Amino acid sequence: MRITQLETFLTNAGLRNYLFIRLTTDSGLTGIGEASLEWQEETVCTLIHEWAEERILGADPFAIEAVIGGMIRDQYQGGSTVMTVISGLEIAMWDLIGKACGQPVYQLLGGRCHETLPAYANGWYGGANTPEEFAACARDVVARGYQAMKFDPFGTAWKEMTAPEMRKAVAIVAAVRAAVGEEVELMIEGHGRLSVPCAIAVGRQLLPYTPAWFEEPVTPNSLELLAQVKAALPCPIAAGERLYTLHDFQRLTTLRAADVLQMDIAHCGGLAMAKKIAALAEVQDIRLSPHCSIGPVALCAALHFDWATPNVTVQENFADYDVPWRHDYVHGWNPIANGQFRLPPGPGLGIELNLDVCAAHPYRKHSFPSLWDAKWVKEFTQADGVVPSR
């Protein structure tokens, strides 16, 4: 079996665009992947056809290590764009492998090892600004069945926070905790905003509200600074969504700079690479919660990984707070019910692209919404009711 065709489908989802991939083989099988990289999809699409297409056409989809390993070796410059290209193709190859074997991908990755797979909600706080508004949105999350939610209470903070800014951030977390009760997990998102002293100071003020974790409190580019924050705070630290290579994750796990590792399968090299990262984390007793802020194919791939990976504890979910047509992009199953993920059915990923829906929502250019510009709060969190959180 050889790959004979590569197609890309660029489509709009409100504040984001999604880039889907479809590979076709000489036996007639098709495999789908996703190469969405928020606000860089056209660039990724160009690179797929400019650089990766000649490497994937004619390849045996079972040759993951040779084909994908070769791409990782040969890409030379590194970074999120090329790793997203590689990851999207790798996911599509696994879909082909599963279909050829008549097995769901999670069975090929090690088999189901969890009885249940809980979700935490993200994207739910669009338009919220005051503590009262955050609390009202949080009650809706619980009403949907979620027992965990993530949010960024820090406004447009950058490096340091004034005393009023810090009081407001703490008040938002306090209001959410009061609204949802003590049993619901609260993940506090930092988006890499803060300096080490500021992150430690605000982290200590958040301790009474028992955060499940404090995510990316400082720049993701310095694991040493992250380790300093972890050493100073008793609450769990989460990070890893903006790391892209196995070597990055080896450094993070060796330093034990985080308690929860959040590789993004659509950016770190794909499913086989994610399993290698999981092994690095396992030997350091680091939990996994894969990042996924993009479309349904990427989420589906993450779910197959989650069901087959013992140290995964919870999976991020934007699906309930995405555009209304999100689930229409694919034929298959709705993966979420009452705050829990369902086991993927069928061979491969278990879903297929709906090309009519992709065509009905053409690409729309967006500039990156700066989280440190007050305009993003108004223009991006209220215009479509979806927060561009990561």
Neighbours of 235 (CB within 10 A): 18
Please calculate the CA angle 14-20-25 and round it to the nearest 5 degrees: 165
96 and 56 Cβ atoms separated by less than 8 Å = no
Q: Which tokens belong to 241?
A: 């969504």
The single residue listed with the structure tokens 């305009």 is 375
Please calculate the CA angle 132-134-135 and round it to the nearest 5 degrees: 65
Three-state SS at 245 = coil
Cα distance between residue 158 and residue 155, in whole Å = 9
154 and 161 Cβ atoms separated by less than 8 Å = yes
Which residues are 5's β-sheet partners? 24
Distances (CA, A) of 269 to 5, 70, 82, 208, 247: 21, 11, 9, 38, 12
Q: Is 255 exposed, middle or buried (0-12, 13-18, 19+ CB in 10 A)?
A: middle
Question: What pTM does this model have?
Answer: 0.95
In this structure, are strands 185-189 and 213-215 parallel, antiparallel, or unpaired? parallel
Q: How confident is the model at residue 367, as a pLDDT?
A: 62
- 137-174 b/e with 16+ CB inside 10 Å = b? bbeebbebebbbbbbbbbbebbeebeeebbebbbebbb
From first to last of its 390 residues, what are the pLDDT tens digits of the chain? Answer: 999 999 999 999 998 999 999 999 999 999 999 999 999 999 999 999 999 999 999 999 999 999 999 999 999 888 999 999 999 999 999 999 999 999 999 999 999 999 999 999 999 998 899 999 999 999 999 999 999 999 999 999 999 999 999 999 999 999 999 999 999 999 999 999 999 999 999 999 999 999 999 999 999 999 999 999 999 999 999 999 999 999 999 999 999 999 999 999 999 999 999 999 999 999 999 999 999 999 999 999 999 999 999 999 999 999 999 999 999 999 999 999 999 999 999 999 999 999 999 999 999 997 666 777 776 556 544 444 444 444
Is 49 one of the annotated active-site residues of the chain? no
List, in order of start, the domains of the chain with CATH numbers.
3-104 (3.30.390.10), 107-348 (3.20.20.120)
Q: Which tokens belong to 88?
A: 């999207």
CA 105 to chain centre: 19
> Out of 49, 267, 291, 366, which one is annotated catalytic?
291
Is 247 one of the annotated active-site residues of the chain? no
Cα distance between residue 378 and residue 375, in whole Å = 5
Q: How confident is the model at residue 380, as a pLDDT?
A: 47
